A and B are shown apart, each in its own frame.
Chain A
Amino acid sequence: MRTILFFIYKELLQIFRNKAMLPLLFVLPLVQLLILSHVATNEVRELKLAVQDSDHSLLSKMLVDKLLASGYFLLSGLSANEAQSNVLLDRDEADLVIVIPPNFSENLWQGRTAQVQLLANAINSMKAGVAVSYAAAIVGDFQRQLLEEGKVILPQGAEVACVSRSDVRYQHWFNAGLDYKTFMVPGILAVLVSMLTLLLGAMNVVREREIGTQEQIAVTPVRSYIFVSGKLLPFLFIGLTELTIGLGIAKLIFHTPTEGSLSVLYLFAALTIMALLGLGLLISNLADTQQQAMFVAWFFMIIFVLMSGLFTPIESMPLWAQRLTWFNPIAQLVAIVRLNMLKGASLVEVWPYLYHVLALGLGYGMLAVFFFRKRNV
């Protein structure tokens, strides 16, 4: 076991002596954290709204004013007819067109059903969905307001269909202001730490094969598990250092809450990093050069990051995809970091994750050692 210390010392010397390595380790990830946390948002604002108002009444103007006053919409154009509206959507000058038919106010005054049409540009289906639901909610609110103020009366027998009397109020737990950054910063931090350790760990093992010194090590009495642990363990320290710096930035710049216990956070981070390093070692067996290792690691990383739940909730993926995320250490770390920092989950709550991450680490580790042996016979 003493030998491993010589290995770790040697690796640390080499890593920190490499001039390209320091910025790669400590500058780039932090720049990414600072930038991505601001841009990775699902909030939809400043939607371009075009109005096709054929009614030209007080009520139709009130409705349009209400939409614009919500803060979600910017008036981007007025159109006189359907053809013009289509042109606006075609040219991407409008995300949403609200069509108010000529008899809109008359119908309302008479207690008949009044109709409003929403045309959404659905190239980005998520954005379109959000735009329509915002607009629909505002139209519903408008209707309720008119009824409450007694300006209009309900059509016969349409009570339930048109107006919901139940008044739903939300309280968002664990992120009261629904601040997107609060949600994203812990997730991005988890992904950055994971990516770095996976990629650099895999490349570091292959490096020695590429420059030929692995052959020199092979003729020494050093066991292969000592060799690979010596090459990988420095990245556990580096990953945890990275996490520490990232947490500092999250706290100081983004004021991200850190509700949970730090020891639980570090325990899980360490276990996940070890699972990732096992995977990195597995990848390194598929490669003879650092370049090959990078491509293979990149392939896994794209899948792992997109399926990590960072941007899209895992719960809304198809069932088979949810199953696949079981094998994804990054998904586990993203979930754990969020639970820990935002919710302050105790060890008991994250207990199932502990087994999960341990199993992943053991699984990848054993596979990696098996293939490593096979390769070297």
Chain B
Amino acid sequence: MNHNTATIAVRELTRKFGPFTAVDHISFDVYAGEVFGFLGANGAGKTTAIRILTGLLMPTSGQAQVAGFDVWRQPEQIKRHIGYMSQKFSLYQDLTPLENIRFFGGVYGLSLRTIRQKSEMLMERLGMQAVAHRLVGTLPLGWRQKLAFSLALLHEPRIVFLDEPTSGVDPLTRRTFWEMIRTEAAKGTTIFVTTHYMDEAEYCDRVSIMVRGHIAALDTPQALKVQFGAEHMEAVFLKLTRPSEL
């Protein structure tokens, strides 16, 4: 992790929907090679913030740079340099893993030769050679999520956004999935991840917790636990999101 280079720089970013302010003047930096946990209860504004940072939505005010590109002026360049994997299953279920790889490779402008090389490499690394020609829809969820993650990295982006990548996946697969994430981060890729599993927050280098459009806390998991006098991240999360009940 390199604290000198912010791959995502957000300043006073705001998005309103009519009278409702979904994202309210948030500011933070994410560094190259960092695993950044972006937490928050449902409706806290996480999804809106991610949609702005991935170039899908324009902010109402404020600034944000992603991979060095401005969200106001260069959303198309941003898209070229990020990977994205959503909580909804984002592969084509009626295509095989190889066909999915070829399609997304083509979409990002990779040459056929590169696509072929990457396909072989990926199938081998994921141990999926045997199912390379089976429809993705028939594969176990864990395998599909690993494949989706690998596809989000296919064009070697500088940042990957993972929106609840492990929801519905068994604990063992979640563990191997997080190993993949850490490996990728070690190579210098920035990982921007949302999750509802608080044990996963412990895997992150730094964690931000969003509450009603604001960033209520941002630090390493260790520092947050000390700050809130909590033993687990779950307690930190609950104290921030439902302070009145504790």
Contact A14 B107 (CB under 8 A): no
For B84, the chain A residues whose CB sits under 8 A away are 216, 219
Contact B99 A212 (CB under 8 A): no
Name the CB-closest residue of B to A18: B94
Closest CB-CB distance, A214 to chain B, in whole Å? 10
Contact A212 B95 (CB under 8 A): no
For B82, the chain A residues whose CB sits under 8 A away are 219
Interface of B, helix, strand, loop or mixed by DSSP: loop
Q: How large, as a class, is the contact surface on chain B?
A: 20 to 34
For B91, the chain A residues whose CB sits under 8 A away are 213
Name the CB-closest residue of A to B100: A10
Chain B CB within 8 A of A222 CB: yes
Contact A221 B86 (CB under 8 A): no
Chain A CB within 8 A of B197 CB: no
Contact A14 B86 (CB under 8 A): no
Closest CB-CB distance, B46 to chain A, in whole Å? 15
Cβ-neighbour of A215 out of B90, B106, B109 (below 8 A): B90
Contact B92 A222 (CB under 8 A): no
Chain B CB within 8 A of A218 CB: yes
- Best-surrounded residue of B76, B102, B104, B107 (most CB of chain A within 10 A): B107
Contact B88 A6 (CB under 8 A): no
For A17, the chain B residues whose CB sits under 8 A away are 94-95, 135
For B3, the chain A residues whose CB sits under 8 A away are none
Contact A2 B90 (CB under 8 A): no
Cβ-neighbour of B107 out of A6, A13, A18, A211 (below 8 A): A6
Cβ-neighbour of A213 out of B79, B90, B135 (below 8 A): B90
Contact A215 B95 (CB under 8 A): no
Count: A-B pairs, CB below 8 Å: 63
Closest CB-CB distance, B114 to chain A, in whole Å? 13
Annotate B96-134 by CB proximity to A: 1 below 8 A, 0 otherwise.
000100111011110000000000000000000000000
Chain B CB within 8 A of A217 CB: yes
Contacts of B45-65 to chain A: CB distance below 8 A: 54-56, 58
Closest CB-CB distance, A297 to chain B, in whole Å? 22
Q: Given A10-B99, A221-B76, verify A377-B58 contact (CB < 8 Å).
A: yes
Chain A CB within 8 A of B80 CB: yes
Name the CB-closest residue of B to A208: B92
Cβ-neighbour of A219 out of B55, B95, B106 (below 8 A): B55
For B28, the chain A residues whose CB sits under 8 A away are none
Contact B79 A14 (CB under 8 A): no
Contacts of A1-32 to chain B: CB distance below 8 A: 2-3, 5-7, 9-10, 13-14, 17-18
Contact B108 A218 (CB under 8 A): no
What are 27 inter-chain pairs, A to B, with CB distance below 8 A? Answer: A2-B106, A2-B109, A3-B107, A7-B107, A9-B103, A13-B94, A13-B95, A14-B94, A17-B94, A17-B135, A18-B94, A212-B86, A212-B88, A212-B90, A213-B91, A215-B56, A215-B86, A215-B88, A216-B84, A216-B90, A218-B56, A219-B56, A219-B82, A219-B84, A221-B76, A221-B79, A222-B107
